[in-house]
């Protein structure tokens, strides 16, 4: 899921080298912390949060077959 999130994020942002993803694992859930350049925050979040909602839906759908649950958080 990390690779998928990184691929999607780099396709959206301008500063592709500043995209980093940190994983935080719990018992059944993995939280993917996405960090982008400050100038790209608006592009990742989108108007009224639509872009980040779409990214979260893609990750949720892609992980549906597995036993782990994945959540996406945007860090500043």
pTM exceeds 0.85 for this model = yes
The pLDDT tens digits of the residues spanning 15-73 come to 999 999 999 999 889 999 999 999 999 999 999 999 999 999 999 998 888 788 999 99
The pLDDT tens digits of the residues spanning 13-29 come to 999 999 999 999 998 89
CATH number, residue 62 = 3.30.300.20
User: Residue 32's pLDDT is what?
Assistant: 96
User: Residue 8's pLDDT is what?
Assistant: 96
Q: Residue 12: give the domain boundaries.
A: 2-75
Total domains present in the chain:
1
Q: What does the H/E/C string look like for the chain?
A: CHHHHHHHHHHHCCCHHHCEEEEEECCCEEEEEEECCHHHHHHHHCHHHHHHHHHHHHHHHHCCCCCCEEEEEEEC
């Amino acid at each position: 899921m990390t690779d998928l999130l990184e691929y999607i994020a780099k396709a959206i942002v301008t500063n592709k080298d500043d995209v980093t993803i940190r994983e935080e694992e719990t018992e059944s859930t993995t939280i993917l912390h996405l960090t982008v350049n400050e100038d790209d925050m608006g592009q990742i979040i989108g108007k009224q949060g639509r872009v980040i909602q779409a990214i979260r839906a893609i990750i949720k759908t892609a992980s549906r077959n597995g036993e782990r649950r994945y959540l996406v958080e945007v860090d500043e």
